[in-house]
Structure 1
Amino acid sequence: MFNDIIAALATPPGEGGVAIVRISGPGALQLVQESFKPYDPQVKLSEKKGFTLTLGWLMEKDEIIDEVLVGVMRTPKSYTGEDVVEINCHGGVLSARRCLEQIVGQGARLAEPGEFTRRAFLNGRIDLSQAEAVVDVIKARTEQGRKLALRQLQGSISRQVEFLQDLLIQINAQVEASIDFPDEVGDLDYEEVEQKLNQVLDLLDKILNAGNKGRIYQDGISLVICGKPNVGKSSLLNALVQKDKAIVTDIPGTTRDIVEEYLNVRGIPVRLMDTAGIRETEDVIEKIGVDKSRTAMENADMIIFLLDVASGITEEDLDIYQKIKDKKFVILVNKEDLEERKITSDEINKYFANAAIIHGSVRTDTGLEELEDAIESKVLQGQNGAGMEIMLNIRQAGALKRARKSVLDLLSSLRNAPLDCLGVDAWGALECLAEVTGKGLKEEVIDRIFKEFCIGK
C-alpha cells in the first residue's frame, strides 16, 4: 500500500543502555544494507530471514557511526505488516541521532506520530480498536489497566463486535430474502428476528457496562480527603502513599493548600488530594484554602470524610456531610486507638445512616486495608461487566451506543414498519459497529486518532 520508507527513534530520547531506530517500508532492508557493515563480510542483510539479528557497524562512507545489532522482520510478519528493520545502537543521545540521520540521508523520511501503528492498521494487521489499545498499553498506570489494554490489543473487543455483526447480518439477510423472494422464503419470522435482536441488545449492554468498568482502571479517579481541621487528613494521605508528602502538626489549619499524590488502589489509578480543614475562619489565607477544599469536593469522583473520635461529631462535621451526601463517599472514623472516645455507634447510625463506615487509626495503620476495600467497592458500584474484561474509549463507546439505538429502533418498529425500513435500521447498526474496528471511518478521523501516538510508534 505504501511505496516510501519511514524511520524514527523507537526508544525514549536520553541516555540508556540501548536505543532503537525503527525503519519500515518496501526496500527497508536494502536501504539499511547500504550503510551496514556486518562482522561477517559474507552476510547480506537483504538475504537475512525474518526474526534474525546481525552484529556489525553502521557506517557513513568509511567512518564508523556505531557498533550495532540489526534486527530483521519480514513482511507480513512484522509490526507494520511491511519489511521492518530495527537498528539497536548504544543508548546515548548522539549515537541514536547519528544512526537516524544516516538512515534518513539514505532516502528514508522521518515518521509522523503513530505512523508505524497507522501502517499496521491500514495494512490489515490490526484493526482500529487494537491500534488504539497500543496507546492504552503505553499509558497504563496500574497492572490491571495494563492487562485490560493488552486484552484489547489481542482483539477482545474485536471478537465481540464480529459476533454482533454476524447476528445483524443474519437478520438483514432474513429481511432482504423476504423482500426479494417472498414466494420461496415466505413471511419474515418475526419471533426469530426479535430473539436475535434481544440477543444483540443484551450483548451491547454488557459490553458498554464492562467498558465503563474497564475505563476506570485506565483513566482512574480523583479522591478527596475532607473533614474539619486536625482530624488526620494529612496523616491519612501520608499513610496511603507511604511517604511524608504532607506536613503534619497538632496545630489546626496547618494545611492551607491542596496537596496531591498518585497511588494505586486495587488496580485503580487514584489522584489523591489532601485538603484544608473546613471551618469558618477570618484568616484570609486559610479562607482561600477552605474555598479550594469545597471546590475540590464538588469536582471529586469520590470522597473520604474523616471524623475524629477525640472531638466527637460537631456541627462542622454535619455541615460537611450535607455537602457530600449525594456523592460517592466513605467515612473513616479516625483515632480509634485513643481510650477516650466521644463518638458512639448510636450517633453514627443517627447522623450517617446507610453510609459506608470504617473505624481505624491512621497513627497505628489500622483500618487502611478496609478503607481501600471500601474505595474499590464504591468506585465500581453499579459497574456490572458480567464477567467481561473490556476497555472502551469515548469514540468506541459512542459508536456502540449509536448501534444500540439502531437496534432499539428496529425492535420498536419490527411488526409495524415495512420490511425495507427494517433493513435500513439493521444496516445502520452494522455501520456503527464497523466504526469500532475502523472499517467505516473517514480518513480525517483516522488522522486525528493517530496524532495522539508518540513518534516511533
Structure 2
Amino acid sequence: MKASETGSNDTIAAVATAVAPGEGSVAIVRISGPQAEPIGRRLFVPPGDQTWESHRVLYGHVVDPASGERVDEALLLLMRAPRSFTRETVVELHCHGGLVAVQRVLELVLAAGARRAQPGEFSQRAFLNGRLDLTRAEAIGEMITARSRRAAQLAMAGIDGGLQRRLTALRGRLLDQLAELEARVDFEEDLPPLDGAAVAAELATVRGELERLVAEARQGELLRQGLRVAIVGRPNVGKSSLLNLLSRRERAIVTDLPGTTRDLLESELVLEGVPLTLLDTAGIRDTGDRVEQLGIERSRAALAAADAVLLLFDLSAGWTAQDQALRDLVPPGAVLLVAGNKADAGGLPVG
C-alpha cells in the first residue's frame, strides 16, 4: 500500500526523543512525508561538497531561512521512500539536546510547511503503509514504555514478529480444517469419509495454543504494567520500615508513635523483572483525628484496588481481631501474603 492510498499526503514532524532541561546531549527532529526532503534542503546547510544520498549522514547547520541565523549545529539523515520506518521519505535532524535548541529547530520545520505529528502518528503511517502489522505497532509502544528488562525483551519479541508468526500459523491450521469440512460438503462422493476424530483433535490442539497465548498475554501485561502492592496492617506494625527497606531509601517517616503515616505513599521498584508499586498505607483503626481519618479512607481505597496485599501483623501481640478485620477487607481477586513482624520484640515465629 502506498502513502497516497492512505491519505497521508501531508508532511508531519515531531521531536522523536525525550526532551528535558539539561538532560540528553542529542535530540532528534523527525520529518516524514512528500515535503520532508525539500524542508531539509531549505533549513539544513552542509559545508563543502556533501552529496544528498539516501541513508547517508550529512554534517552542517540548521539555518533560519528568514534571517540566515545559524540555529544549531546538527547532523542530517535522509531516508528516501520506501526505505524508511513509515515507507515515506523521512528526514531526521540530530540536534543538541535540552529544550531551546530542539524546539527552535522544530518551529522552523513547522514554519517550512510540515504539520506537527499527533502522538503515535509515525507508527500509524508505518502500519497504514504496510511497514508494520498491528502486533508490531503495539510492541513499539510497549518497548517505549517498558519499565523492566523482561518487559523490554517481551516487546522486542513482538517487534521481531514472533506473535504475528504464531497467529498466522494457527490461522493456517484452522483454514486447513475448514477446507476439509467444506470439501466434504461440495465433493462428498469423491472423497474418503471425514476423519472426525482427527479434526476434533487438531481443533483441540489449536485451542490449547490460543489459550496459551492468552495466558502469556496476561503475564506480559503484568510485566508491562506492573503490580500494585498495598502494605497494610494495624498502626505501628512496621509498614513504613518495610517500605524503606524494600525501596533501599528513607521513603517514609518512621517513629514509635502510632498513626505517623497519614497519607498514601508510593515507591516503585523492579523485583525479579516485575515492576512493583508499593503502597504504604495509613494504619487502619478507629480514630477521632480527622486528618488520620482521611489517610485511613485512602488506605481502604488502595486496598480495594490493589493487585496484591501484604498484610503485616505484630508477632509480639499475636493475631488480633483487628488483624482479622483487615484480612476480611482484602478483595477476593487479590493475592494475599501475611507476614509477621517484630519477632525481636518477644514474639514467636509462625509457620
TM-score (norm 1): 0.69
Q: In the alignment, what sits opposite 2:50?
A: 43
1:164 is displaced (CA, Å) by: 1.0
SS of structure 2 residue aligned to 1:34: helix
Structure 1 counterpart of 2:173: 167
Equivalence for 1:217: 223
* 1:223 Cα deviation from its structure 2 partner: 0.9
Change (3 A) 1:192 1:76: farther
Q: Which of residues 54, 57, 62 in structure 2 aligns to 1:58? A: 62
The residue aligned with 1:334 is 341
Aligned counterpart for 1:88 among listed residues 84, 90, 94: 94
Q: How does 1:132-151 map to 2 (within 5 A)?
A: 132-151=138-157
Gap change, CA 1:25 and 1:289, over 3 Å in 2: closer
Task: Return closer, same or farther for 1:105/1:298 CA change in 2, 3 Å cut-off.
Answer: closer
Pairwise CA RMSD: 2.3
Deviation at residue 170 of structure 1 after TM alignment: 0.9
2:35·2:114 contact (CA, 8 Å) conserved in 1?
A: no
- On the 8 A contact 1:33/1:44 being kept in 2, the answer is no
The 1:181/1:254 distance shift into structure 2, 3 A limit, reads same
Q: Quickly say closer, same or farther: Cα 1:206–1:56, change in 2 above 3 A.
A: same
- Whether contact under 8 Å (2:304, 2:331) holds in the other structure is no
Aligned residue for 2:31? Answer: 23
Pair 1:124-2:111 in alignment = no
CA separation in 2, counterparts of 1:100 and 1:299?
Answer: 42
How far residue 189 of structure 1 moved from its aligned partner, in angstroms, is 3.2
CA distance in structure 2 between the aligned counterparts of 1:163 and 1:154, rounded to whole angstroms: 16
The farther-off stretch of 53-62 and 91-100 is 91-100
The residue that corresponds to 1:293 in the other structure is 299
- SS for the counterpart of 1:67 is strand
Aligned letter for 2:80? R
The answer to whether the Cα contact below 8 Å between 1:253 and 1:286 also exists between their aligned partners in 2 is: yes
Partners of 2:34 and 2:88 within 8 A in 1: yes
| 1:102 corresponds to which of 84, 103, 108 | 108
Name the structure 2 match of 1:79: 85
Task: Using CA pairs under 8 Å that are at least 6 residues apart, name the structure with larger relative contact order, 1 or 2.
Answer: 1
Q: How far has the Cα of 1:279 moved from its partner?
A: 2.7
Aligned partner letter, 2:330: I
In the alignment, structure 2 segments of 5+ residues that lack a partner are: 4-8
User: Do the aligned partners of residues 325 and 296 (structure 1) sit closer, same or farther apart at CA in structure 2, a change above 3 Å counting?
Assistant: closer
- Cα deviations across residues 51-73 of structure 1 (Å, max 9, x unaligned)? x2110122333443322101122
Matched, 1:13 2:16: no
TM-score for both structures, normalised by structure 2: 0.88
* Residue 359 (structure 1) aligns with: none
Partners of 2:338 and 2:60 in 1: CA distance: 64
Q: Which amino acid aligns with 1:335?
A: K
C-alpha distance in 1, partners of 2:331/2:28? Answer: 53
Deviation at 1:31, TM superposition (A): 3.7
Q: Note closer, same or farther for the CA distance 1:290–1:8 as it changes in structure 2 (3 Å cut).
A: closer
- Work out the CA distance in 2 between the residues paired with 1:295 and 1:95: 45
Secondary structure, in 3 states, of the residue corresponding to 1:337?
helix
Q: Deviations over 1:38-95 (max 9, x none)?
A: 122x2232xx132x21101223334433221011223333211222210112224333
List gaps (5 residues or longer) in structure 1: 349-457
SS in structure 1 at match of 2:96: strand
Residues 132 and 312 of structure 1, relative CA distance in 2, 3 Å threshold: same
Cα distance in 2, alignment partners of residues 30 and 287 from structure 1? 63
- Residue 235 (structure 1) shift: 0.7
Q: Is the 8 A contact 2:343 2:349 kept in 1?
A: no
CA distance in 2, matches of 1:275, 1:79: 46
Q: 1:234 to 1:55 in 2, by over 3 A?
A: same
**Structure 1 residue runs of 4+, over 4 Å off?**
none
Partner of 2:183: 177
**Alpha-carbon distance between aligned partners in 2 of 1:118 and 1:221, rounded to the nearest angstrom:** 29
What is the distance in 2 between the residues matched to 1:284 and 1:32? 62
**Residue number among 196, 210, 222 corresponding to 1:204 in the alignment:** 210
The superposition leaves residues 305-363 of structure 1 with CA deviations (integer Å, 9 ceiling, x where unpaired) of: 1122222333322332343395421122112334x32x354xx6xxxxxxxxxxxxxxx
